[in-house]
Amino acid sequence: MPVNRFLRSRSGRLRLWPLLIFGGFFAVYYFTHQENVPVTGRSQLVDISPEQEAALGLQSYREILGQADVVQGGEAVETVRMIGRRLAAVAEDPGFEWEFNVIDSEQVNAFALPGGKVAVFTGLLPVAGNDDALAVVMGHEIAHAIARHGAERMAHQKLTQYGALAVGVAMGEMDIQTQRMVMGALGVGAQYGVLMPFSRKHESEADYIGLLYVARACFDPTEAPALWERMAEGGEAPAEFLSTHPNPATRIGNFEEWMPEALRVREEHCAESTAP
């Protein structure tokens, strides 16, 4: 059979070998890069060392602070650093070099980067309203860093990219329109079926771990549901499956479910402060 006729006969076929190679790579990669999240014990996929992750966190933190209006002192800074020190003292010790700063911004937000680099935006302070509610937010962000959620997201994104590459090679003999349709569908599926659900899972896990940190540090965990009721007043949230975060109603329900455990933890760690 002439070569050109042979090639035409194979036009439009899916090549299986790229998918088989990716499947083998996925299995080895996944099972050789497993760690356990502190507190929850959940298995997670992480492929960089804590030192590499901390270096990336420090670089990002310095870039953010360099472009932001950092509050140099005052009551807000002292409060944030007091809460941060108390939470860090009761969290699992990953060897972080903790740093707490306040950024003058209307954003109702806070963040914690790998290595223990934390910042709180001034826009969050009036919404929190008190130290206990602010501790809930900061505990949540600190939990993200200790649970290595950033490194886990990087690993998931890497696998998604490798998978897309394998599919692209496998479809190399198909017409361009078919390739575009399949790759578009895969991209949407990965975003809404894998990456976003994992992100919501991380948020809920950070809520749970952070709530226990709040309790261990002798703050009042019952402020968590009230905080998210106030957060919900800021506007209508998108449908949960379209978001990287659980909606406020879901978070409030989770906090209420976890509250008996948090109160027991607080009683165990803070006997003197909870005594009548």
Question: Residue 243 has what pLDDT?
Answer: 64
pLDDT of 4 strictly over 50:
no
Question: Residue 1 has what pLDDT?
Answer: 46
Residue 17 lies in a domain: no
Question: Residue 236 has what pLDDT?
Answer: 54
Give, in order, the Cα–Cα distances in Å from 235 to each of 58, 187, 224, 255: 33, 29, 18, 21
d(CA 108, CA 165): 38
Domain that holds residue 260: 31-274
pLDDT band at residue 6, thresholds of 50, 70 and 90? very low
Residue 197 lies in a domain: yes
* pLDDT tens per residue, range 95-153: 999 999 999 999 999 999 999 999 999 999 999 999 999 999 999 999 999 999 999 99
Question: Residue 171 has what pLDDT?
Answer: 79
Residue 26 lies in a domain: no
Residue 38 contacts residue 92 (beta carbons within 8 Å): yes
Residue 5 lies in a domain: no
Residue 4 lies in a domain: no
pLDDT of 86 strictly over 90:
yes
The CB density around residue 106, as the number of other CB atoms within 10 Å, is 9
* DSSP letter for each residue of 11-34: TTPPPSHHHHHHHHHHHHHHHTSE
Question: Residue 234 has what pLDDT?
Answer: 62
**Minimal CA–CA distance to 151: which of 198, 110, 197, 190?**
198
Task: Return the higher-pLDDT residue of 112 and 16.
Answer: 112
**Minimal CA–CA distance to 124: which of 228, 27, 30?**
228
Residue 255 contacts residue 207 (beta carbons within 8 Å): yes
d(CA 121, CA 108): 7
* pLDDT tens per residue, range 26-37: 888 888 889 999
How many structural domains does the chain have? 1
**Which whole number is the average pLDDT over 221-235?**
88
Question: Residue 193 has what pLDDT?
Answer: 61
Question: Residue 160 has what pLDDT?
Answer: 83
pLDDT of 25 strictly over 50:
yes
User: Which helix (H) or strand (E) element contains residue 184?
Assistant: helix 176-190
Query: Which residues, listed in sequence order, are joined to residue 118 by a DSSP beta bridge?
Result: 100, 112
**Which whole number is the average pLDDT over 213-233?**
94
Residue 175 contacts residue 190 (beta carbons within 8 Å): no
d(CA 138, CA 143): 8
Residue 114, both tokens = 């790998």
Q: How much is the pTM?
A: 0.84
Flag the least confident range among 77-86, 142-151, 235-244. 235-244
pLDDT of 241 strictly over 50:
no
Question: Residue 63 has what pLDDT?
Answer: 97
Residue 25 lies in a domain: no
- Amino acid symbol at 125: L
> What residues are annotated to the active site?
141
pLDDT band at residue 3, thresholds of 50, 70 and 90? very low
Residue 123 contacts residue 136 (beta carbons within 8 Å): no
Residue 47 lies in a domain: yes
Task: Return the higher-pLDDT residue of 75 and 1.
Answer: 75
Task: Return the higher-pLDDT residue of 210 and 6.
Answer: 210
Q: What is the mean pLDDT of the chain?
A: 86
Residue 21 lies in a domain: no
